[in-house]
């Protein structure tokens, strides 16, 4: 019994010595190590982020926050909870004061809290919880039209039912001097003046005071006037006749419009094109061109060429006249050379017979001949006959037993002419 008592005393003494040694060793090894649980205090953990805000967009939530001791923070952990998972789980880390959570499900509420991790490796408690519901937001000007000729437009706004406020701005993504106003899916809006591209910026806010990520916007080109800069043609001072081709060109500042010219008393609405098909080297550059073949019809003297232009926004330009005019004259009616026959009892004469011309502007008949086929007005001129009623002529300056080719040309008072068919005849042999 005495030995058992001695052994128990010795055991307790040895246990006490071991515990003292262990405590001393631990205290020595853990000196200057704040992560030791025996040395930690609340001051060693970083404060949670503050001013946490959530903004929403299409399948995305954007988080922002601040921190009172950001210099001593190595990263921030982002935790998320949604209706399909009641526990918060980490979805990302960042060294920034913002984070975008992408590829979310629209119209599902997500809740977030953010913690800070200090340089000592300790993670602080989570921030206040914020929530957001990603959804589709958009704005369309005039239902997505590319152009408008009026500053007054309509805005079609798309946002979830929880949206209560909207802020709209002209050409200013910072929304300077803009005010929040009640949300409505349709809004009337006035664009800034001056033609050109105009942008309408919009942001939305819901009943929980959450805003959308960045501004949503749409563009439209404001075009309130159309102008014809120049119109010209290649007729110059020429007198045009049926079947002649005249080339028109109109210079504007706008592609995609409708251009035409009126050739007064001849043809209205001769269409011009801005597609390069008529020699325009740069299609869609606002230069409209077209060719027009002069038809058989009325004669005109110095008629106006009038340009018309409607741009793609529907603005109608003031008419513009080409600086030079166009004259179109119809050549005289041709006669038919009926016969070329030798004169009886003559070896140096041929008789010509043709149909009568009845034009009121008749000037004369001119007879040309040649020793070979292909008579034209450069061939030798035989005679000029002023009397419109004369329909025959005897050419008596010929060589016997020789074939001659003839045409009868009809000239009018303006100098235009037509030629007859070609006929030949052979003089009698010398007697």
pLDDT tens readout for residues 153-179: 999 999 999 999 999 999 999 999 999
Is the model's pLDDT at 23 over the cut of 80?
A: no
Q: Does domain 337-426 have CATH number 2.60.40.10?
A: yes
In this chain, the answer to whether the domains covering 42-132 and 138-222 adopt an identical fold is yes
Q: Which fold has domain 42-132?
A: Immunoglobulin-like (2.60.40)
Per-residue model confidence (pLDDT) at position 282: 57
CATH H superfamily, domain 228-328:
Immunoglobulins (2.60.40.10)
How many other C-beta atoms are found inside a 10 Å radius of the C-beta of residue 23? 11
User: What's the rounded mean pLDDT across residues 250-258?
Assistant: 92
Which residues make Cβ contacts (< 8 Å) with residue 354, sequence separation at least 6? 335, 336, 337, 338, 365, 391, 392, 408, 420
pLDDT tens readout for residues 339-384: 999 999 999 999 999 999 999 999 999 999 999 999 999 999 999 9
Nearest C-alpha neighbor of 309 from the set 281, 290, 282: 290
Q: Which two tokens stand for residue 262?
A: 């009126």
* Buried b / exposed e along 341-376 (16+ C-beta atoms within 10 A): ebbeebbbbbbbebeebeeeebbbbbbbbbeeeebe
Secondary structure letter of residue 353 according to DSSP: E
Is the model's pLDDT at 67 over the cut of 90?
A: yes
Residue 250 burial class via C-beta count within 10 angstroms: exposed 0-12, middle 13-18, buried 19 and up = buried
Per-residue model confidence (pLDDT) at position 44: 87
pLDDT tens readout for residues 190-211: 999 999 999 999 999 999 999 9
- Cβ-contact 223, 255 below 8 angstroms: no
Q: How confident is the model at residue 253 (pLDDT cuts 50, 70, 90)?
A: confident
Q: Which fold has domain 138-222?
A: Immunoglobulin-like (2.60.40)
d(CA 242, CA 270): 16
- Cβ-contact 201, 192 below 8 angstroms: no
pLDDT tens readout for residues 104-118: 999 999 999 999 999
Is the model's pLDDT at 58 over the cut of 60?
A: yes
- pTM for the predicted model, two decimal places: 0.63
Q: How confident is the model at residue 140 (pLDDT cuts 50, 70, 90)?
A: very high
Q: Where are the domains of the chain?
A: 42-132, 138-222, 228-328, 337-426
Per-residue model confidence (pLDDT) at position 26: 37
């Amino acid at each position: 019994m005495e030995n058992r008592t001695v052994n128990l005393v010795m055991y307790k003494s040895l246990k006490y010595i071991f515990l003292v040694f262990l405590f001393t060793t631990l205290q020595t090894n853990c000196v200057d190590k704040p992560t030791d649980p025996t040395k930690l205090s609340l001051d060693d953990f970083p404060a949670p982020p503050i001013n946490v805000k959530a903004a929403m967009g299409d399948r995305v939530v954007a988080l922002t926050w601040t921190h009172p001791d950001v210099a001593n923070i190595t990263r921030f952990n982002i935790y998320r909870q949604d209706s399909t998972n009641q526990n918060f789980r980490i979805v990302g880390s960042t060294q920034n004061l913002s984070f975008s959570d992408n590829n979310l499900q629209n119209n599902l509420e997500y809740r977030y809290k953010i913690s800070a991790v200090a340089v000592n490796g300790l993670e602080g408690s989570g921030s206040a919880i914020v929530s957001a519901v990603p959804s589709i937001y958009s704005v369309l000007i005039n239902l997505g039209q590319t152009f408008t000729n009026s500053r007054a437009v309509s805005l079609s706004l798309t946002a979830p039912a929880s949206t209560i406020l909207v802020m709209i701005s002209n050409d200013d993504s910072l929304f300077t001097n803009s005010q929040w106003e009640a949300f409505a899916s349709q809004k009337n809006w006035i664009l800034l003046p001056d033609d050109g591209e105009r942008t309408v910026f919009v942001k939305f806010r819901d009943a929980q005071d959450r805003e959308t990520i960045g501004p949503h916007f749409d563009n439209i080109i404001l075009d309130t006037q159309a102008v014809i800069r120049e119109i010209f043609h290649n007729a110059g001072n020429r007198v045009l006749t049926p079947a002649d081709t005249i080339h028109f060109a109109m210079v504007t500042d706008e592609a995609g419009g409708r251009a035409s010219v009126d050739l007064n008393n001849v043809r209205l609405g001769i269409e011009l094109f801005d597609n390069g098909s008529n020699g325009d080297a740069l299609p869609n550059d606002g230069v409209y061109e077209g060719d027009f073949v002069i038809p058989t019809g009325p004669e005109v003297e110095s008629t106006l060429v009038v340009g018309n232009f409607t741009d793609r926004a529907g603005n109608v330009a003031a008419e513009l006249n080409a600086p030079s005019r166009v004259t179109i004259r119809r050549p005289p009616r041709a006669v038919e050379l009926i016969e070329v026959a030798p004169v009886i009892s003559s070896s140096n004469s041929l008789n010509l017979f043709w149909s009568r011309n009845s034009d009121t502007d008749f000037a004369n008949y001119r007879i040309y001949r040649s020793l070979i086929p292909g008579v034209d007005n450069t061939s030798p001129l035989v005679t000029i006959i002023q009397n419109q009623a004369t329909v025959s002529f005897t050419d008596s300056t010929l060589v016997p037993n020789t074939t001659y080719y003839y045409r009868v040309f009809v000239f009018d008072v303006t100098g235009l002419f037509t030629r007859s068919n070609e006929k030949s005849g052979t003089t009698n042999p010398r007697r």
